[in-house]
Amino acid sequence: MSRKPPNVLFLFTDDQRFDTIGALGNPCVQTPALDRLVSRGTAFTHAHIPGGTSAAVCMPSRAMLHTGRTLFHLDGAGADIPPEHVMIGEYLQSRGYCTWGTGKWHNGPSSFSRSFSDGAEIFFGGMDDHWNVPVFDYDAAGRYDGTLPQCPDAFRTNALNIRKGDHVHAGRHSSEVFADCAAEWLHASDSRDPFFMYVSFMAPHDPRTMPEEYLALYDPKSISLPDNFMGGHPFDNGDLKVRDELLEDFPRDPDATRRHIAEYYGMITHLDAQAGRILDALDASGKADDTIVVFAGDNGLAVGQHGLFGKQNLYEHSVRVPLVFSGPGIPRGVRRNAYAYLLDIFPTLCDLIGFDTPDSVEGKSLASVFDDPGARPRDTLFGAYRQWQRMVKDERFKLIEYVVGGRRTTQLFDLVQDPWECHNLAGIESYRDRLHGLRNRLFAWRDDWDDAGSEWGGAFWAGYDAS
Query: In angstroms, how far is CA 333 from the centroid of its own chain?
Result: 22
CATH number of the domain within which 352 lies: 3.40.720.10
Asked if residue 361 belongs to a domain, the reply is: yes
Alpha-carbon span 223 to 255, nearest angstrom: 9
User: Are residues 328 and 37 in contact, defined by beta-carbon separation less than 8 angstroms?
Assistant: no
- Residue span of the structural domain in which 193 resides: 7-371
Q: Which of 342, 371, 400 is the last residue of a domain?
A: 371
Asked if residue 1 belongs to a domain, the reply is: no
Residues 397 and 357 in one domain: no
Residues 433 and 357 in one domain: no
Asked if residue 376 belongs to a domain, the reply is: no
User: Are residues 78 and 63 in contact, defined by beta-carbon separation less than 8 angstroms?
Assistant: yes
CATH number of the domain within which 386 lies: 3.30.1120.10
Residues 364 and 452 in one domain: no
The per-residue pLDDT for 277 is 98
Asked if residue 140 belongs to a domain, the reply is: yes
Count of Cβ atoms closer than 10 Å to residue 129 Cβ: 14
Asked if residue 96 belongs to a domain, the reply is: yes
Number of domains in the chain: 2
Which stretches within 99-173 are classed as H helix?
109-115
Residues 102 and 236 in one domain: yes
Asked if residue 261 belongs to a domain, the reply is: yes
Mapping DSSP to helix (H, G, I), strand (E, B) and coil, where does residue 119 land?
strand
Residues 170 and 283 in one domain: yes
Alpha-carbon span 135 to 143, nearest angstrom: 13
User: Are residues 403 and 464 in contact, defined by beta-carbon separation less than 8 angstroms?
Assistant: yes
Residues 457 and 347 in one domain: no
Q: Which of 323, 341, 371 is the last residue of a domain?
A: 371
Q: What is the DSSP letter of 28?
A: T
Asked if residue 27 belongs to a domain, the reply is: yes
Residues 386 and 337 in one domain: no
Interhelix angle 32-40/254-284, rounded to 10 degrees, is 60
Q: Which of 318, 350, 371 is the last residue of a domain?
A: 371
Q: What global pTM score does this model have?
A: 0.95
The per-residue pLDDT for 2 is 54
- For 130-177, what is each residue's pLDDT tens digit? 999 999 999 988 888 754 444 444 333 333 445 578 899 999 999 999
Give the residue among 97, 67, 89 at the shortest CA–CA distance from 7. 97
Alpha-carbon span 444 to 414, nearest angstrom: 21
Residues 280 and 415 in one domain: no
Residues 347 and 429 in one domain: no
Residues 202 and 312 in one domain: yes
Residues 362 and 419 in one domain: no
Residues 359 and 396 in one domain: no
Q: What is the full per-residue pLDDT of the chain (467 aa) written as tens digits?
A: 357 899 999 999 999 999 999 999 999 999 999 999 999 999 999 999 999 999 999 999 999 999 999 999 998 776 789 999 999 999 999 999 999 999 999 999 999 999 999 999 999 999 999 999 999 999 988 888 754 444 444 333 333 445 578 899 999 999 999 999 999 999 998 888 999 999 999 999 999 999 999 999 999 999 999 999 999 999 999 999 999 999 999 999 999 999 999 999 999 999 999 999 999 999 999 999 999 999 999 999 999 999 999 999 999 999 999 999 999 999 999 999 999 999 999 999 999 999 999 999 999 999 999 999 999 999 999 999 999 999 999 999 999 999 999 999 999 999 999 999 999 999 999 999 999 999 999 999 999 999 999 999 999 999 998 66
Q: Which residues pair with 402 in a beta bridge?
A: 389, 409
Asked if residue 2 belongs to a domain, the reply is: no
